[in-house]
Amino acid sequence: MNDVADKSTTAQRSLGVARARSTAARVVWVLCLVVALVLATAAFSFALEANDKNGLVRLLRDLADFFDLGVFDLQNPVKDWDDENGRVKTALFNYGLAAVVYLVAGRLLERLIRP
């Protein structure tokens, strides 16, 4: 009789751990998705030539500067263009690449964490 109770307790515990891991995996994926959306939106703000003085545009670009990890930033970009629309191309390429990196990393982490 005691053996059955121990198995039931162990099963409940493992179910709780699985739920916690599943929730943690979901949270990691959503956070990476939100960061990727911020980066993509900031990139499109350059493409659409959004007003730099607008508070929302400034916030998006500041968040993108924070989340680019210093690797995909616009001051020292991975790829830089010097032509007429170089600023737009540089922002689209570097922030777009950073968004893809966040999506891939988020999906990998989600698969590692999920039971």
Residue 106 Cα distances to 41, 69, 96, 101, angstroms: 18, 15, 15, 8
Q: Is 57 exposed, middle or buried (0-12, 13-18, 19+ CB in 10 A)?
A: middle
Q: Which residues contact 86 (CB under 8 A, 6 or more apart)?
A: 80
Token representation of residue 1 = 């009789």
pLDDT at 4: 57
If one compares 27 and 84, the residue with the highest pLDDT of the two is 27
pLDDT band at 85 (very low <50, low <70, confident <90, very high): confident
- CA–CA distance, 67 with 15 (Å, rounded to integer): 35
pLDDT at 54: 95
Place of tokens 């099963």: 11
pLDDT band at 9 (very low <50, low <70, confident <90, very high): confident
Share the mean pLDDT of the chain: 89
Place of tokens 């980066």: 39
Closest by CA position to 89, among listed 71, 74, 70: 74
pTM for the full model? 0.83
pLDDT at 1: 53
Closest by CA position to 46, among listed 70, 64, 31: 64
Q: Is 54 helix (H, G, I), strand (E, B) or coil?
A: coil
